[in-house]
């Protein structure tokens, strides 16, 4: 097993005897700031650093560092898998599929339920891992673990509800049946912003359908994927059914290409940027693989004159600043009608100042953790600078937080126009730009003037307007007088260049099934 390092401020003094017994070394205090007292040590039993293939923990020839985004300190070094390791994982998954596809749906259901139970039993430890590697506030990380586990529970139940069909024919001598069968090996490529939930949303459906998987987690957050592997193993998921191949950013391209071009892979499921999704689609096209893509967004948040301003502000806070604005369904553009504009901006600024606290994710009062890395901070800075140079007004925030490193102040801009970068690009950070509009038609034109369409939100008390706008917004998901829309029971996905397919809900399992028609003649 490659070396795993944990900061002294995680409670290393208390864990030192156990850690040293495993041959692990500990660094000195974090150079930035200590975590909140009582955060405790992270769970040694769940802190895996090797790849997980065929039911075994396998080291790689090299390892890459995983950094704490709050301090920049090295959390540990994880196996840096390359294309050969990825192909070996695919072979292990394919060998396992030959038997897993024949396991009774009831048995697959039971195993997924055991995995869910173990996640709930270990929810506090799993949440600490998320906060450590992603910077997400601990309360949000705890919420993600519950959300993540619920996908396993949901698909454990859906496993027993894969139904076929009987079709009437014009011939007395024929009978027609339709079956649904698992696709095969699925390559699962996931992002860093939800390092646990984005895995279980895909893997739960795949395993319920009878597929096996190879997971390539984001290089910033591999520990969550490996912790899930440990719990899957404990739950009795057979060897080769769930495999994890972590890799560094340097090797990500080769590993992604290996997974997408391997003839033994039947399905690609990816969550990430639109640009990367297009590359993976190109690779998948050569062998005509089934794909699911949950790609970038540029979510509009529209507030009409008839809206309840206080409700709209509450929804805006929830939609924009969760995970410091680093979610694919975060509101990216606020379109506010002229009659209510000033009141909305004033109340939103007050809410930001009163309710948001930037800090380390382990500190109890923190609502805004760090951005994931320096590149993310630079993008927010670029969007703010561009907007101000073109005439936007800074209402609050606008710069790196005094904590330094990857921390950025929650920022509100008014007098924003459509030609600014923050209007036409996904910021993925704590920036709320407000555009003033006059008519419903104008708002819809602005909202739909983009090549992506993942989520959209609007606030109105006019029933007729609600129906009109909901139907005309060119997005896959609409929040109507609601800022939080994700739920395991509901289909998640977008239109245009925001992706293909749906995840979660009763529709999610269909992404891993193929339809077979059987005609019985001579009866």
Q: Catalytic residue numbers? A: 294, 328
449 and 466 in contact (C-beta within 8 Å)?
no
DSSP code per residue over 344-372: HHHHHHHHHHHH--B--TTSTT-SB---S
328 and 296 in contact (C-beta within 8 Å)?
yes
Whole-angstrom Cα distance, residue 358 to residue 10?
A: 19
50 φ, ψ (degrees, to nearest 5): -95, 165
Handedness of CA 372, 378, 383, 384 (dihedral sign): positive
**Exposure of 309 by Cβ count < 10 A (0-12 exposed, 13-18 middle, 19+ buried)?**
middle
Handedness of CA 498, 503, 505, 508 (dihedral sign): positive
Q: What tokens appear for 82 in the block?
A: 């390359």
Map tokens 């017994």 to a residue: 21
Whole-angstrom Cα distance, residue 277 to residue 293?
A: 7
User: With helix as H, strand as E and coil as C, how does 490-523 read?
Assistant: CCECCEECCEECCECCCCHHHHHEEEEEEEECCC
Q: Strand 455-459 to strand 513-520: parallel, antiparallel, or no bridges (unpaired)?
A: unpaired
Contacts for 13 with CB less than 8 Å, ≥ 6 apart:
none
């Amino acid at each position: 097993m490659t070396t795993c390092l944990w900061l002294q401020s995680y409670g290393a003094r208390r864990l030192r005897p156990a850690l040293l017994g495993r041959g692990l070394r500990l660094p000195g205090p974090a150079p930035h700031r200590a975590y909140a007292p009582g955060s405790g040590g992270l769970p040694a039993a769940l802190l895996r650093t090797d790849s997980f293939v065929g039911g075994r923990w396998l080291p790689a020839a090299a390892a890459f560092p995983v950094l704490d985004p709050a301090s920049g300190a090295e959390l540990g070094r994880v196996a840096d898998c390359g294309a050969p390791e990825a192909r070996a994982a695919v072979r292990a998954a394919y060998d396992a599929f030959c038997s897993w596809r024949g396991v009774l749906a009831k048995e697959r259901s039971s195993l997924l339920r055991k995995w869910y139970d173990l996640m709930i039993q270990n929810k506090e430890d799993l949440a600490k891992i998320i906060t450590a590697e992603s910077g997400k506030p601990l309360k949000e990380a705890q919420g993600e673990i519950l959300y993540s586990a619920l996908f396993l529970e949901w698909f454990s139940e859906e496993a027993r509800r894969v139904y076929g069909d009987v079709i009437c024919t014009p011939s007395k001598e024929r009978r027609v049946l339709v079956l649904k069968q698992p696709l095969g090996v699925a390559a699962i490529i996931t992002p860093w912003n939800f390092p646990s939930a984005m895995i279980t949303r895909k893997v739960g459906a795949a395993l319920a359908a009878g597929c096996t998987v190879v997971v390539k987690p984001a290089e910033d957050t591999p520990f969550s994927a490996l912790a899930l592997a440990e719990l899957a193993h404990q739950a009795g998921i057979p060897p080769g059914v769930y495999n994890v191949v972590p890799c560094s950013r340097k090797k990500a391209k080769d590993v992604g290409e290996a997974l997408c071009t391997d003839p033994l892979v039947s399905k690609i499921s990816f969550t990430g940027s639109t640009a990367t999704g297009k590359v993976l689609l190109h690779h998948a096209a050569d062998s005509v693989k089934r794909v699911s893509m949950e790609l970038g967004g540029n979510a509009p948040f529209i507030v009409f004159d008839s809206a309840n301003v206080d409700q709209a502000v509450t929804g805006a806070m929830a939609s924009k600043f969760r995970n410091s604005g680093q979610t694919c369904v975060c509101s990216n553009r606020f379109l506010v009608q002229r009659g209510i504009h000033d009141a909305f901006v004033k109340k939103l600024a007050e809410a930001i100042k009163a309710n948001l606290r930037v800090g380390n994710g382990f500190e109890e009062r923190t609502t805004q953790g760090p951005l994931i890395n320096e590149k993310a901070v630079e993008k927010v800075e670029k969007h703010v600078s561009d907007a101000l140079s073109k005439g936007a007004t800074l209402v609050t925030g606008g710069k790196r937080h005094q904590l330094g490193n990857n921390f950025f102040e929650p920022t509100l801009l008014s007098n924003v126009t459509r030609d600014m970068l923050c209007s036409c690009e996904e910021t993925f950070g704590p920036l709320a730009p407000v555009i003033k509009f006059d008519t419903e038609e104008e708002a819809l034109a602005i909202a739909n003037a983009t090549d992506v369409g993942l989520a959209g939100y609007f606030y109105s008390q006019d029933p007729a307007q609600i129906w009109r706008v909901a139907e005309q917004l060119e997005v896959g998901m609409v929040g109507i007088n609601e800022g939080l829309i994700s739920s395991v029971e509901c289909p998640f996905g977008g239109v245009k260049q925001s992706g293909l397919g749906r995840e979660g809900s009763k529709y999610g399992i269909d992404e891993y099934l193929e339809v077979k028609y059987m005609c019985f003649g001579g009866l």
